[in-house]
Chains A and B, each alone.
Chain A
Amino acid sequence: MKPCKTQAFTLVEILVVCGIVSVFLGTAILLFTNFRRGYSRSEGTAVLLQDGALFIARLRTDLNNAVIAPDSSGGAPAQLSATPDQLSFIVYSSREARTMPVVYRYLAAENGGSIFRREGSEKERELIKDRVASLTWQTELERFLEPESTGSGTVRLSIGLDIQLKMRSGDEKPFTLKTSIFPARLNRQLNSP
């Protein structure tokens, strides 16, 4: 009988290669799954950061344009009005060359609240949808008196803001921000002689 001369892998070689390939594939799949999870978490975190940053920038710009304007009904001058679910004030619009009310409304919900903004007679717009875990805004009016002075001192109005945004999945890092906003125009008006 003629011996077979065809070269082939031995069983040991095939087993070793299969072992290496499965270890490599296992590691690659594990790494990829971890990275994928981390990536989607970061993507969600970035979305929250962007939502939060845009909201804070919008509110800050509005508050910096806030002014003390006489009430249209002839009542006392309106400044800022803050309730747990609403923040309202009067702004001076350079575009329209007149004052108009701005109202921020917070609608709390168990699965994530929303924030809305309305300017003048325009339709209310949604700034953040279903992602607000908590939101508080508090106004504080301080008066600093010089010692031994008979003057009225320096008045400072500020709005303390504490906000937390969360994704529904809850895997992402929540966006948390605590800061104070000082409406410059309003403060100048309050301190004007």
Chain B
Amino acid sequence: MLEIVFSIGILALIMLPVFMTFSTGNRNIQLTDAEFRAHTAAIELMEQIVSLPFGKITSGEYDSNAIVDGGQFANGPVLYKITTADDLWRTMKIEDIKRDGRVLFKKITVTIKFAAAPGSDRIREFFMKTLVANETL
């Protein structure tokens, strides 16, 4: 009987990684979903800034409290249009890239923080950068 009990124990140990593989697959798909939503939120914010005339893209750092739907971008009059999501935190930095005293480009960096899994305390970060050329030169 001892041999049988041992063999069952060994079989159980062998099967464990197989079951673990299934559950890891589930977790990865959940993460991909969260990453996709973060990516979409970053593009949404980035696109609306890039769509503005160059002169209206005001340099500075903008935090999550400022970037809300209907909130003022810089000192206005343009207002943010943001899809509300409670588990996403957005920040944005706009920098001037100058040469010979003239602003040639604006460098825009959007960072999105999001929960690694629903209800999780672990926070992941996604960021996106782009340059907008000064077309008025």
Say yes or no: A179 contacts B40, CB within 8 Å.
yes
B16 (CB) vs chain A CBs: closest residue? A31
Report the interface size for chain A: residues with CB under 8 A from the other chain.
42
Answer whether A180 and B48 are a contact pair too, CB < 8 Å, given A145-B77, A154-B77.
yes
Answer whether A146 and B77 are a contact pair too, CB < 8 Å, given A35-B19, A156-B48.
yes
Note all chain B residues with C-beta closer than 8 A to A191.
52-53
Answer whether A154 and B47 are a contact pair too, CB < 8 Å, given A39-B22, A180-B81.
no
Q: Considering the chains assembled together, what is the distance between the CA atoms of A16 and B1 in angstroms?
A: 9
Say yes or no: A158 contacts B40, CB within 8 Å.
no
In the complex, whether B79 has a CB less than 8 A from a CB of chain A is: yes
Say yes or no: B77 contacts A144, CB within 8 Å.
yes
Note all chain A residues with C-beta closer than 8 A to B79.
142, 144
A60 (CB) vs chain B CBs: closest residue? B43
Q: Considering the chains assembled together, what is the distance between the CA atoms of A32 and B23 in angstroms?
A: 11
Interface residues of A in 30-59 (CB under 8 A from B): 31-32, 35-36, 38-39, 42, 45-46, 49, 53, 56
Among candidates B15, B26, B81, residue contacting A42 with C-beta atoms closer than 8 Å: B26
Note all chain A residues with C-beta closer than 8 A to B48.
156, 158, 180, 182
Interface residues of B in 72-121 (CB under 8 A from A): 76-79, 81, 83
Note all chain A residues with C-beta closer than 8 A to B15.
28
Q: Considering the chains assembled together, what is the distance between the CA atoms of A154 and B51 in angstroms?
A: 10
In the complex, whether A20 has a CB less than 8 A from a CB of chain B is: yes
CB distance from B9 to the nearest CB of A (A): 9
Q: Considering the chains assembled together, what is the distance between the CA atoms of A141 and B29 in angstroms?
A: 36
Q: Considering the chains assembled together, what is the distance between the CA atoms of A178 and B41 in angstroms?
A: 10
Among candidates A9, A49, A144, A188, residue contacting B51 with C-beta atoms closer than 8 Å: A188
Main secondary structure of the interface of B (DSSP, over half): helix
Say yes or no: B1 contacts A154, CB within 8 Å.
no
The interface centre, meaning the residue of B33, B37, B41, B76 with most chain A CB atoms within 10 A of its CB, is B33
Answer whether A153 and B81 are a contact pair too, CB < 8 Å, given A35-B22, A182-B48, A184-B50.
no
Among candidates B33, B37, B77, residue contacting A147 with C-beta atoms closer than 8 Å: B77
Say yes or no: B32 contacts A13, CB within 8 Å.
no
Q: Considering the chains assembled together, what is the distance between the CA atoms of A68 and B23 in angstroms?
A: 50
Note all chain A residues with C-beta closer than 8 A to B19.
31-32, 35
30 contacting pairs across A/B (C-beta < 8 A): A16-B1, A20-B4, A31-B19, A35-B19, A35-B23, A42-B25, A45-B29, A49-B33, A56-B40, A60-B43, A64-B47, A142-B79, A144-B78, A154-B52, A154-B56, A154-B78, A156-B51, A156-B52, A158-B48, A179-B40, A179-B41, A179-B43, A179-B44, A179-B83, A180-B83, A182-B44, A182-B47, A187-B52, A188-B53, A188-B135
